[in-house]
Structure 1
Amino acid sequence: MDLSNEFRVDASPAVTWSVLTDLERIAPCLPGAQLQEVEGDEYRGIVKVKVGPVTAQYKGTATFLERDEAAHRAVLKADGRETRGQGNASATITVTLVPDGTGTQVSVLTDLRITGKVAQFGRGVISDVSANLLGRFVESLESTVLRGDTTTPASPTPA
């Protein structure tokens, strides 16, 4: 299923790019996400999400497929397995930044594939949950790293 979201931040595209492509720095801003380790270009962690009455926790990896700084476009591939073995999630996330006055308009296109209990809720519910999580992520992002707060939680253990 394809999900499309947009948001605007009060930071230049260059600043926004450096923040959004630093997964170690932004992982604490994503509700339910915990980055556990980084090995080379592979990021490993856990994401916990509630969809309707079901809470699922996925353990997996994320890697950048593309990082085009000049075009301000990044493509991230994430794969996870539900920790109780009841399903899988896979996403290809394309982020594009465009200057917008004194800030940046961010477009996030997600090609999401889910199996297991979470998949039963369908596009409408999953889209709503995705938009809610992204909204909370942006609020956290703007109140911490985009405000110049350089304090970040402990770094993951390098492998």
Structure 2
Amino acid sequence: MKLEHRVTVDAPRAAVWAVLMDLPVAAGCVPGTRDIAPEGDGVRGTLDVRVGPVKLALAGRVAVESRDETAGKARLRADAEDQRVGGAVRAFVDLAVSGDAPTELSVSSDVAILGRIGELGQPLIARQADKVLAGFADCLRRTVAAR
């Protein structure tokens, strides 16, 4: 499943990039995250999210696969599992920042939903992803402004 989102942040590009590449801080901006801890080139944690009637606790890891600060582009890989429901999520997330005050963040995700989680249906999952990204965008704006 492919997801595309755009976020505008009224701040310099360098400030937005710095928050995005500080993975523990950026992960903390995702609504429902807990137990976030640095691990190697990434972070480990859990995302609690409700998709329709089902509450998921996706425990996993996000790592930077590549980054180019000059171009303002990075690729993240996320792998998480829910033991209770039975299923997993694997995603590659491409981030691109452009412009400068305001800065536009483009988020392109290629997500694989595995196991019983996939039975929830792509439209329902996509709607929840939109809500999570809206919350992330609000937190990103506040975090960048506070630095």
Q: Structure 1 length normalisation: TM-score?
A: 0.86
CA deviation vs aligned residue, 1:111-137 (integer Å, no higher than 9, x gap): 101123331232222111111111111
Q: CA RMSD in A?
A: 1.5
User: What is the letter of the counterpart of residue 136 of structure 1?
Assistant: G
Report the counterpart of residue 148 of structure 1 in structure 2. 146
Count of aligned pairs:
147
For structure 1, the residue ranges without an aligned partner over 5 or more in a row are 150-159
Preserved CA contact (<8 Å) 1:27 1:34: no
Matched, 1:44 2:68: no
Equivalent residue of 1:115, what SS?
Answer: strand
Displacement after TM superposition at 1:15 (Å): 0.9
Report the counterpart of residue 6 of structure 2 in structure 1. 6
User: What is the letter of the counterpart of residue 148 of structure 1?
Assistant: A
Report the counterpart of residue 131 of structure 2 in structure 1. 132
Displacement after TM superposition at 1:108 (Å): 0.4
Preserved CA contact (<8 Å) 1:75 1:92: yes
Distance (Å, rounded) in 1 between the aligned partners of 2:6 and 2:128? 15
User: What is the letter of the counterpart of residue 73 of structure 2?
Assistant: R
Report the counterpart of residue 33 of structure 1 in structure 2. 33
Report the counterpart of residue 95 of structure 1 in structure 2. 95
Report the counterpart of residue 123 of structure 1 in structure 2. 122
Of 53-62 and 35-44, more deviation after overlay is shown by 35-44
For structure 2, the residue ranges without an aligned partner over 5 or more in a row are none
Percent of residue pairs bearing the same amino acid type:
33
Distance (Å, rounded) in 2 between the aligned partners of 1:146 and 1:24? 14
Displacement after TM superposition at 1:37 (Å): 2.3
Distance (Å, rounded) in 2 between the aligned partners of 1:93 and 1:50? 21
Report the counterpart of residue 54 of structure 2 in structure 1. 54
Preserved CA contact (<8 Å) 1:27 1:35: no
Displacement after TM superposition at 1:41 (Å): 1.0
Preserved CA contact (<8 Å) 1:81 1:89: yes
Distance (Å, rounded) in 1 between the aligned partners of 2:43 and 2:11? 26
Matched, 1:107 2:106: yes
Report the counterpart of residue 80 of structure 2 in structure 1. 80
Equivalent residue of 2:121, what SS?
Answer: helix
Distance (Å, rounded) in 2 between the aligned partners of 1:76 and 1:43? 11
CA deviation vs aligned residue, 1:76-127 (integer Å, no higher than 9, x gap): 0010111326001101000011106x31111100010112333123222211
Displacement after TM superposition at 1:20 (Å): 0.8
Displacement after TM superposition at 1:146 (Å): 1.4
